[in-house]
């Protein structure tokens, strides 16, 4: 299943993503962790030191390799140059699986050892001024979106993306790629204003959005969040001394995480598992086509000089059985 952590800057997206990833590692689940946030901090939050984090290969810099691999022998995609971040898979495309080895993971993923097992970590690479502008084709998260659209994930396999709630993910359709979106919110007006904006975008696309309150201290904080987001509030996490120790570079064993916070992580997993059970592969495919046609029209056709609508394979549905035959 595919899970995103979004929210306002500084709300705790990276912290909660990293705790959730550690939690999944302890149950032995296969995990691909993706850092697609503007501030690239997931590696350090998973225990990498500065040198190790700096050596992580940037997906954004390996787009040609990713496109070439995913294109496979899809006759509707003339060349990797005409592939944009929303180009959907079709017959002949290569798909990704969570557990396999493939050239994309070889180039872009690195194993990170955690208590309980290793996860694969992929990072978009640092964002520059240009990435934050309006030019969609500069987008660093394009590599992530392409991979998500070609990734056939099973029930007990987890793809966890640390992401901003920014406008780029709305323009591209990235926000529709997840079975579960955890919106991390501090109990403040700014924290919940991002929720409202996200909810607005999410409504039309049937996004499963749940709020995870963070740095919640006491009843007043809880009451505030409940009043602002209602039933969308899934669970809250309090201040964590474990997180503080980790931030100091001295992470205790993960089983020493405070019990209420461990319980919160279990709640996140149950909610994500339940959301995956409702995965509608046809809708998932339809939405990627929708955003592809939108991007093709607004800039893709002009940029590539091709009619990108012709890349859509009308009979293709991304689903588990396709991966088996591809």
- Kindly state the number of chain residues that form the binding site for ligand ATP, as judged by CB under 6 A: 19
Closest distance between ligand ATP and the C-beta of residue 19, in Å? Answer: 8
Residues 59, 64, 70, 76: is their CA dihedral positive or negative?
Answer: positive
Contacting residue, 1, 2, 3, 13, with ligand ATP by CB under 6 A: 13
Residue 11 sits in the site that holds ligand ATP (CB under 6 A): yes
Q: Does 150 bind Mg ion (CB under 5 A)?
A: no
- Return the residue matching tokens 């194993």: 111
Kindly tell me which residue out of 37, 131, 168, 186 binds Mg ion, with binding defined by CB under 5 A.
Answer: 37
Where does this chain touch ligand ATP (CB under 6 A) — which range of 102-110, 232-240, 248-256, 279-287? 232-240
Residue 44's CB: how many other CB atoms inside 10 A? 18
Rounded CA-CA distance 212/114 in Å is 23
Minimal distance in Å, beta carbon 21 to ligand ATP? 12
How far apart (Å, rounded) are the C-alpha atoms in residues 261 and 12?
14
Among 14, 74, 172, 176, contact with ligand ATP (rule: CB under 6 A) = 14
239 binds ligand ATP (CB under 6 A): yes
Strand partners, 182: 5, 210
Among 2, 22, 23, 41, binds Mg ion (CB under 5 A): 41
85 SS3 class: coil
C-beta closer to Mg ion: residue 41 or 85: 41
For position 8 contacting Mg ion by CB under 5 A, the verdict is no
**For the chain, how are helix, strand and coil distributed in percent, rounded to 5?**
50, 15, 35
Candidates 39, 52, 188, 262: give the one binding ligand ATP (CB under 6 A). 39
- In this structure, is the dihedral angle defined by the CA atoms of residues 277, 282, 285 and 289, taken in order, positive or negative? negative
- Mapped onto helix, strand or coil, the DSSP state of residue 211 is strand
Query: In the bound complex, what is the minimum distance in angstroms from residue 184's beta carbon to Mg ion?
Result: 10
The whole-angstrom distance between residue 66's C-alpha and the CA centroid of its chain comes to 17
Q: For residues 95 and 122, which CB has a smaller minimum distance to Mg ion in the complex?
A: 122
For residue 324, CA distances in Å to 97, 103, 156 come to: 10, 18, 17
Tell me the C-alpha distance between 182 and 124, whole Å. Answer: 20
Q: For ligand ATP, which stretch binds (CB under 6 A), given 20-28, 243-251, 252-260, 269-277?
A: 243-251
Minimum CB distance to ligand ATP, residue 245 (Å): 10
Considering only 9-17, 84-92, 96-104, 219-227, which stretch makes contact with ligand ATP by CB under 6 A? 9-17
By the criterion CB under 6 A, which residues form the site for ligand ATP?
7, 9-15, 37, 39, 41, 214-215, 237, 239-240, 243-244, 247
């Amino acid at each position: 299943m595919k899970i995103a952590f979004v929210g306002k800057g500084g709300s705790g997206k990276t912290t909660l993503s990293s705790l959730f990833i550690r939690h999944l590692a302890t149950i032995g689940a296969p995990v691909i962790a993706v850092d697609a946030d503007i501030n690239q901090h997931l590696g350090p939050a998973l225990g990498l030191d500065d040198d190790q984090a700096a050596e992580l290969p940037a997906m954004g810099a390996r787009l040609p390799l990713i496109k070439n691999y995913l294109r496979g022998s899809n006759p509707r995609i003339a060349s990797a140059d005409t592939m944009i971040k929303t180009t959907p898979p079709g017959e002949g495309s290569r798909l990704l699986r969570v557990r396999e080895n493939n050239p994309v993971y070889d180039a872009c993923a690195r194993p990170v050892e955690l208590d309980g097992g290793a996860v694969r970590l992929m990072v978009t690479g640092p964002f520059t001024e240009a990435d934050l502008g309006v030019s969609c084709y500069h987008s660093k998260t394009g590599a992530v979106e392409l991979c998500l659209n070609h990734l056939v994930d099973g029930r007990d396999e987890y793809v966890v993306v640390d992401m901003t709630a920014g406008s780029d993910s709305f323009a591209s359709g990235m926000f529709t790629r997840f079975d579960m979106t955890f919106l991390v919110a501090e109990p403040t007006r700014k924290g919940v204003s991002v929720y409202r904006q996200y909810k607005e975008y999410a409504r039309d696309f049937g996004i499963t959005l749940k709020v995870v309150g963070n740095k919640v201290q006491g009843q007043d904080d809880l009451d505030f969040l409940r009043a602002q987001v209602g039933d969308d509030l899934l669970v809250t996490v309090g201040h964590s001394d474990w997180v503080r120790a980790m931030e100091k570079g001295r992470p205790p064993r993960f089983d020493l995480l405070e019990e209420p916070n461990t319980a919160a992580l279990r709640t996140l997993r149950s909610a994500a598992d339940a959301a995956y059970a409702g995965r509608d592969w046809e809708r998932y495919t339809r939405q990627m086509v929708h955003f592809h046609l939108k991007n093709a029209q607004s800039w893709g056709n002009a940029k590539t000089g091709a009619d990108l609508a012709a890349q859509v394979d009308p009979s293709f549905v991304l689903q588990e059985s396709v991966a088996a035959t591809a």
